[in-house]
A and B are shown apart, each in its own frame.
Chain A
Amino acid sequence: MRLDRTELWLLASGVVLALGVFVLPNWLTFLLTIAFAKGLVVQGVVVQMRAGLVSFGQGLYYCIGGYTVGMGGQWLGVHDAFVLLALSMVAAAVVAMVLGLLLTRYREIFFAMLTLAFSMILYGVLAKSQSLGSTDGFNVHGITALGWTPGSSGKMFVYVLTCGIAAVAAVFLHRLSKSSVGYVCEAIRENEVRVEYLGASPRWTLYSTYVLAAAVSALGGGLTGMATGHVDPEMAYWTTSGEFVFIALLGGIGHVAAPFVAASLFSTVRTYAIQFVPHSWQMILGFVLLGIIIFLPKGLWSLFKRTRKAEARV
């Protein structure tokens, strides 16, 4: 497997960020862990956005990822982080394979609302399940890695793990965006009838992309569960999914690193906004979103592209 420049750059960033565990303060590594985990969920939203579909229910897979990690430890006695994350992906993929059969029949607002409906159904089910702690959820603990128990350095371990997974996922998603499927997705967004007439099945392409997006998003949920030590039905609530769409718009679909950058920015702004203007931080988010849609419809990443083009013209 040969890596191109972007891929090397992504992996290098992952390593540098992971090494940051030795120098960065705990609050910052925690903030970044959550941001990158959310970034993974947002990657799932972005993959679908490229094909022209907006999922307003990606919280479904975020939640499935988190609960699988939690339940794996609680009921199956599985504590290994890698096995738990693999289980998360499998669980999400299986659910997506079923829901995708119905969802890929729909486009635009109908698709968006249906994804939202499914996530709210999961929210409702979990909130009513006494054995899963109802609306309180339950705690996740005792994470190990290949036989090693991080113990008190658990949070640091999850941070390093998240950096590693995010970097590898980014390389994979970068490949995907340059692959035939990646371009066919864009082609479907642009002109679905023509794709059909060229001989491909838009539905099958959207279906496989949907399943893949679910698996990637579940990784984000699993890592969040490990990092916070807690999962609850709120993960599937519609405002959570809305946040993922917000971050996706913030970053744009122009670069595979954008969701991670946008998620970090989002978490930082939110942390400070809650501290300094506790009652109006949603208003700040609202204005930011307004600004982006009006001035940077292709997301923050278009800022980089603009300057680069401007340089090139000189």
Chain B
Amino acid sequence: MSQTPILESRSLHRTFGAVVAAKDINVAIHAGEVVGVIGSNGAGKTTFINMVTGFLPPSAGEIMFNGRSILGLAPRKITRMGMARSFQVAQLFPELTVLDNMLVALSIAESPLPSFLRPLRTPERVEKAEATLKEFGVAAFRDHQVTAVPQGTRKLVDIAMALIANPKMLLLDEPTSGVAVEEKFPLMDSVMEVVRRHGVTVLFVEHDMEIVARYVSRILAFYAGEVIADGPPDQVLDDAKVRELVVGHGHGGHGRARRSS
């Protein structure tokens, strides 16, 4: 484990009107870790990802990537530094084919100022895009328009597009949401296998405790904008506060009455 964390947030705050979506978040993630983020809906998981990727400015706090402050940088700049993300709802280019989605991602990864005259579809790019689709087991959908492929495939393409740029760190926002229960494990299996092979540091958000426990070395538990627990899976899942506020509530809102002791 290196000394400088790959990603570090210091006293991160964010409010939306009266809603506190992030409150004093201090997290340090080291290269090579696979970190799971749990927390009920509205706990601030997506807000955290949006802030560290430059999409949402924090109200206060500092964010470091590889020891450099990335506060105030645009998402594209942060992506170029090696932090990629996927989305809770797959963010693709629906009118393009799966392959063209990948080629756009690859071409941008190769050069931030895409060429006016060189074709997008070069044999080398197509080969690389196909190889990545194959890694994720979705190569069969290559020529399908995105609107015509199943939800699970879309989520995988969304992640594949993030990974094709060879990021150092990958943030996955609920990779299994919107996917049928029986598809969740196979989907996560293929994602985690690819991610391990590429040696990427991963942070992923997941509601399902079984899934989290299976893949991660560390869990962050979010509740009402705060990180209420941070540690190895068995420790965090055994934590009284986590059991009360996160696990016990499943998918429900965080505002429900606390159990009286």
Q: Give me the interface of A with B, judged by CB distance under 8 Å.
A: 175-176, 178-184, 186-187, 190-191, 193-201, 204-205, 208, 212
Contact = CB atoms under 8 A, between A and B. Distances in A.
Contacts of A175: 116-117, 119
A205 to B, nearest CB: 7
Interface stretch (B4-12, B100-108, B192-200, B248-256): B100-108
Given A187-B104, A197-B75, A205-B114, A180 B94 contact: no
19 contacts: A175-B116, A176-B116, A179-B116, A179-B120, A180-B104, A180-B120, A183-B96, A191-B93, A194-B92, A196-B76, A197-B53, A198-B79, A198-B165, A199-B76, A199-B112, A200-B112, A201-B112, A204-B113, A212-B116
Contacts of A205: 114
A212 B85 CA distance: 32
B117 A176 contact: yes
A234 to B, nearest CB: 32
Contacts of B111: 180
Most chain A CB atoms below 10 A, which of B80, B107, B108: B108
A126 B178 CA distance: 58
A205 B111 CA distance: 12
Given A197-B53, A200-B114, A182 B120 contact: yes
B258 interface: no
B108 A194 contact: no
Contact of A178 (B79, B112, B120, B161): B120
B120 A198 contact: no
B110 to A, nearest CB: 9
Nearest to A183: B120
B121 interface: yes
Contacts of A195: 104, 108
| Chain B interface bracket (under 10, 10 to 19, 20 to 34, 35 or more) | 35 or more
Contacts of B74: 196, 201
Contact of B119 (A178, A184, A196, A208): A178
A199 B79 contact: yes
Contacts of B228: none
The 10 closest A-B pairs by CB, nearest first: A180-B114, A190-B93, A199-B79, A194-B91, A180-B107, A200-B108, A198-B108, A183-B120, A187-B93, A178-B119
Contacts of B216: none
B159 to A, nearest CB: 12
Nearest to A195: B108
Contacts of A179: 114-120
Interface of B: 53, 55, 74-76, 79-80, 84-85, 87, 91-96, 100, 103-105, 107-109, 111-121, 161-162, 165
Nearest to A172: B117
B108 A199 contact: yes
Contact of B100 (A181, A183, A191, A199): A183
Nearest to B119: A178
B132 to A, nearest CB: 14
Given A180-B108, A190-B94, A193-B55, 9 more contacts: A175-B117, A176-B116, A180-B119, A182-B120, A191-B93, A198-B109, A199-B79, A199-B112, A200-B76
B108 A184 contact: yes
Contacts of B120: 178-180, 182-183
Contacts of B87: 194
B210 to A, nearest CB: 29
Contacts of A194: 87, 91-93, 161
Contacts of A200: 76, 108, 112-114
B96 A198 contact: no
Contacts of A204: 113
Contacts of A180: 104, 107-108, 111, 114-116, 118-120
Nearest to A175: B117
Contacts of B104: 180, 183-184, 187, 195, 198
Given A199-B76, A199-B109, A193 B114 contact: no
Most chain A CB atoms below 10 A, which of B84, B94, B105, B111: B105
B226 to A, nearest CB: 26
A186 B93 contact: yes
Nearest to A202: B76
Contacts of B162: 197
Given A197-B76, A201-B76, A201-B112, A184 B107 contact: yes
A205 B80 CA distance: 17
A83 to B, nearest CB: 24
Nearest to B121: A178
B254 to A, nearest CB: 27
Most chain A CB atoms below 10 A, which of B75, B100, B104, B105: B104
